[in-house]
Structure 1
Amino acid sequence: MRAVLPRRPRPRTGSGATASWRRRAAVAVPPLMAAAIAGWGITVPSLWRDESVTGMAARMSLPELRALLADIDTVHALYYLLMRPFAALGASGPVELALRLPSLLAFAAAAYGVAVLGRRLAGPAAGLWSGLLYAVLPIMSRYAQEARGYALVSAVAVLATWLLVTALERPSRLRFAGYGAAVALLGWLHLYALLLLVAHAVAVLAAGRAVPGTRPPRRPRSSPTSHPPRGPLRPPWPSWLLAVAGAGVALAPLVVVAAGQRDTQLFWLRSPGPPELVAFPIGVAGSAAGAAAVFGLAVWGGWSARRTPLVAAWAVLPFAISFAVSQVAPIYHPRYVLVVVPGIALAAGIGLTRLAAIAGRWRFAVAVPAVLLVAATALPAHEALRTPDSRPDDLRSLTAALDAEVRPGDRVLFVPYRYRLFVAVYGGPYERLVDLTHAPGRYEPRTAAEFTAAAAGANRIWLVSARIGKVYAADPRLVALRSAFSAAGPTRRFGSIRLTLYRPRGAERHRAGVERRSGGARDAATSTPAPPA
């Protein structure tokens, strides 16, 4: 019941100790490379609004977090709980490093898993090249430097796939139970990542066809997974279905609650088209040239591994299904299909191994420059990710601007009402400003009447908002603000976040009059001739 590539005889190019060292190096180098790349400039970009939500949610008390999850973000509940110790760490050190550290570690773990799978499916060289290609892809570096769960999702997807391969090679209840637990964990981290199960189903069906109830041939002694046959084999799909069903039971509460939050959570998604289809491979590799190299190798690798359809299915099917479904009900975003990237790297690594094999004993002279070429084409994308303004929002500069200008008694209004979560991760001035959006101890926003009462007597109100278009122009608190206050200056932008200072209308007219009178007095003083000496 084999789900792996047919093992080729290993060339005898050295001692057993040398071969063992090479096998260990094949899986040790990629995670070290991944960690080094992810650590490069990790604190340079400001945290942006999604990362602010992570930090704010992870710092909440459990009752506050429960209130938030009852309204939105239930799909990220487990991730927020896992982030609590890192958020506490951020209170005494660089908050960017503390919140992004789990993603860095998950990225390194995923690179290790890709290398292990490549070694298991196609040999040490395939493991090395697959892991290194995964490590240099800019799309993964992007999410390895973000305080969101997508790097962790990718790592768990790799773990679940490795557990499936292990269970198919050496079936047992314990192995399938472990696989089912990994699938449940994957779903609790991101429900759309479960599209990976379609690729797993392909692998299970292929394994069942490969040995229809008969014993497999004995594996060579040199195989690290060799084992004696233990009785007649049964098709693997009943055990797989049982494992997936168990995961489904564990995920049922999350699915029920998340279904009710879908419109709030994903209202911004749109159906993708040809531009998004073209943009995805370029986004993965960082450039058109890099995409041609990586995806060209992946096509070759998928064809070379056609007897193991898991490789091609993993690289293609989750993306294809998400893209197709989104034509009717939008669920597609590149970060929601990151689970295909390990499959792409695995296929590309196998393809590179096959390409290098043509050169015989000079295979490293082919493979190493190929990896370096992919890295070189990705370098501009990596550098662009590590600039201060590379994220959609610059919350660090926003916080610094407020910190310099906030006066005692100033108040703040957030539009939309959840925006405090989106911007206040750096603390500072937000802890001094009186929040007019929410009453103390309440998650629900104030009504317009409550806002008017709370704003009475205020001399300065800061509006921190998204772009005020048709969606937010009718916000009742914003309408009340604009009826009694007027902008005291231009709106400043920090990425997609807007900052505007408001003052009472009468006070603003009075201030303008004072400025006109003082300006007139200065003009008169400068235009009056000096008396004769």
Structure 2
Amino acid sequence: MWPSRTATALIPLTVALVLGLWGIRRDGGVWRDEVVTYDMAHRTLPELFHTLQNADAVHGLYYVLMHGLFSVFGGDLVTLRLPSVLATAAAAAGIGLLGHRLAGPRAGLFAGLVFPVIPAVQEYAQEGRSYAVVCALVAWATYLLVSAMSRPTRGRWAAYAVVALAACLLHEFAVLMLTAHGATVLLSGVPRQVKRAWSRVAAGVVAGLAPLALFSMSQSEQVGWILWPDPVQLLTFAAMAAVGLRCARTPVRARGPIRLRTLAVPLLTLPTVALLLVSQLKPMYVERYVLYYVIGFALLLGAALDQAFLPHDGRGRSSRRKWVSSLSVAAVLLALVPVAVYLRSPESRVDDVTAVASAVAEASEPGDGVVFTPARRRVWTLARPEEFQGLRDVALAQKVTTSDSLYGEEISPERTRAGMLSLDRIVVLGDPEGSPLDVDEQEITKRATLRDHFEQCSSKEVTGARITVYARPGHCAER
């Protein structure tokens, strides 16, 4: 029956590759998290190990893998982002095979094709971060779970455990997939020994993750920037969950002991809901941390599309339904074109480090001071450090590359104030107007010194950043 099992994997894989490679350089734009990946992966392994003792241990395995990749292939934007492109293609293939196994060949093909056109997937398919790789591992872990539940063997359970643990070690919140997998096991009506086997494997995965999770808790201040769930991200999840749950009502003939809706609905909903509940204790919800929830959405929508295009009775209903379904799919794809184009522009990300560097070069002159507020915005110097040569980093005690840190070490607030007062002009790099302000003593001192002893000469916003020139009274016009 067409499509074959091979086609349900290869066709989505090819589409995902084409979409991932299209505009992969993003006009040279790169945002701050990608710059961190680039910087960390270019440190020596001893330097990387020492830095991970202080910061970003949660991404340590990914940095090590990228270090190896850059060592072999050299470092540029394509090398930085290609693993995410390939991972998205692998995920699309896995989703296609998963749909094929649970609901038939056409449902698998549709599910595999839905996945790479989802805007969030297109976004993270072109980022030098771990999220697309984690999503691929969750997709294949889910496939291996279905395989182990259908024909339990030690080898299948071991393969599931290895892939699931790898996903968790790349990003800790991948462990929330176990909430979905556990629900699937409980609701599928499989024998008790299968449930016990999954419980042992899940416990092993949690135990394998525990040392990293416990250590990274000491670095929890790194997610202090997360204040509350982004409304757009919440609405996106709510809309996809609503569509997915509506699709789950579509009758799908089971092709084994696991029903598609029993697998896909928990995967669509439970990891995100669990993260939102955890965020009531400490804000941690960011959509990309549980990006893999879209796997459930793709499976449900793929099965619904399969039913929409199935032949029906002989009274013309099938023809009308196919026309309506075809026009609906075409309209959605057409609406996604401008979104896809936008996602391949530098403006689509939180900031654009290369644009920041260019704006600094335009606004500054040799001998100016430079202040980063908050200090973590010093990451903007890593993409094009030559643009910051000749500027005095007023608050810097130890550089990023020698301090075993992500953003460098700063001097005391008192010394920072004294250093600022010794200058006539300071270029200040900070977040756009209206962004939340850090309230630690160092940042308060920077803002107070500028307010009390300097006047604003010029200000310019680029994507995700504001570059403002301050001078002592009467020195603005000396440029």
- State the TM-score, normalized to the length of structure 1: 0.75
Question: 1:410 and 1:88, CA in 2 relative to 1: closer, same or farther beyond 3 A?
Answer: farther
How far is 1:511 from its partner? 6.5
Say whether the 8 Å CA contact 2:41–2:64 is kept in structure 1.
yes
Q: Which runs of 5+ in 1 are unaligned?
A: 1-10, 12-18, 213-234, 285-290, 516-533
Does 1:125 find its partner at 2:106?
yes
Give the corresponding residue for 2:39. 56
Instruction: Render the CA deviation track for 1:184-220: whole Å, top value 9, x for unaligned.
Output: 111112222221112211232345x3446xxxxxxxx
Give the corresponding residue for 2:185. 204
Question: 1:272 and 1:502, CA in 2 relative to 1: closer, same or farther beyond 3 A?
Answer: closer
Q: Which segment drifts farther, 443-452 or 300-309?
A: 300-309
Q: Distance in 2 between matches of 1:453 and 1:66?
A: 34
Question: 1:260 and 1:457, CA in 2 relative to 1: closer, same or farther beyond 3 A?
Answer: closer
Which amino acid letter does the alignment assign opposite residue 267 of structure 2?
W
Q: Distance in 2 between matches of 1:469 and 1:241?
A: 43
Q: Distance in 1 between matches of 2:475 and 2:95?
A: 67
Give the corresponding residue for 2:413. 448
Give the corresponding residue for 2:123. 142
Give the corresponding residue for 1:37. 19
Question: 1:52 and 1:41, CA in 2 relative to 1: closer, same or farther beyond 3 A?
Answer: same
Q: Which segment drifts farther, 322-331 or 196-205?
A: 322-331
Give the corresponding residue for 2:250. 300
Does 1:178 find its partner at 2:146?
no
Q: Distance in 2 between matches of 1:299 and 1:192?
A: 29
Give the corresponding residue for 2:60. 77
The equivalent position to 2:355 in structure 1, one of 387, 397, 402, is 397
Greater Rg by CA: 1
Give the corresponding residue for 1:462. 427
Which amino acid letter does the alignment assign opposite residue 252 of structure 1?
A
Q: Distance in 1 between matches of 2:451 and 2:229?
A: 38
Q: Distance in 2 between matches of 1:424 and 1:185?
A: 29
Instruction: Render the CA deviation track for 1:35-77: whole Å, top value 9, x for unaligned.
Output: 2122222323622222222222222334443454334322111
Q: Distance in 1 between matches of 2:389 and 2:146?
A: 51
How far is 1:445 from its partner? 1.5
Say whether the 8 Å CA contact 2:244–2:265 is kept in structure 1.
no
Say whether the 8 Å CA contact 1:119–1:125 is kept in structure 2.
yes
How far is 1:161 from its partner? 0.6
How far is 1:100 from its partner? 2.0
Q: Which runs of 5+ in 2 are unaligned?
A: none
- Pairing 1:478-493 to 2, within 5 Å after superposition: 478=446, 482=450, 486-487=454-455, 489-493=457-461
The equivalent position to 1:495 in structure 2, one of 441, 450, 463, is 463
Does 1:383 find its partner at 2:341?
yes
Q: Distance in 2 between matches of 1:408 and 1:428?
A: 12
Q: Distance in 1 between matches of 2:51 and 2:326?
A: 49
Q: Distance in 1 between matches of 2:75 and 2:131?
A: 25
Say whether the 8 Å CA contact 1:487–1:500 is kept in structure 2.
no
Say whether the 8 Å CA contact 2:141–2:164 is kept in structure 1.
yes
The equivalent position to 2:48 in structure 1, one of 51, 65, 70, is 65
How far is 1:379 from its partner? 2.4
How far is 1:124 from its partner? 1.4
How many corresponding residue pairs? 460
Does 1:106 find its partner at 2:87?
yes
Question: 1:104 and 1:496, CA in 2 relative to 1: closer, same or farther beyond 3 A?
Answer: same
Which amino acid letter does the alignment assign opposite residue 350 of structure 2?
P
Q: Which segment drifts farther, 117-126 or 484-493?
A: 484-493
Which amino acid letter does the alignment assign opposite residue 496 of structure 1?
G
Q: Secondary structure at the match of 1:493?
A: strand
Does 1:247 find its partner at 2:205?
yes
Say whether the 8 Å CA contact 1:48–1:392 is kept in structure 2.
yes
Which amino acid letter does the alignment assign opposite residue 465 of structure 2?
I
Instruction: Render the CA deviation track for 1:400-452: whole Å, top value 9, x for unaligned.
Output: 22234544444432222222225532433135544333334334321234446
Instruction: Render the CA deviation track for 1:435-481: whole Å, top value 9, x for unaligned.
Output: 33333433432123444676686554322223586525842662585
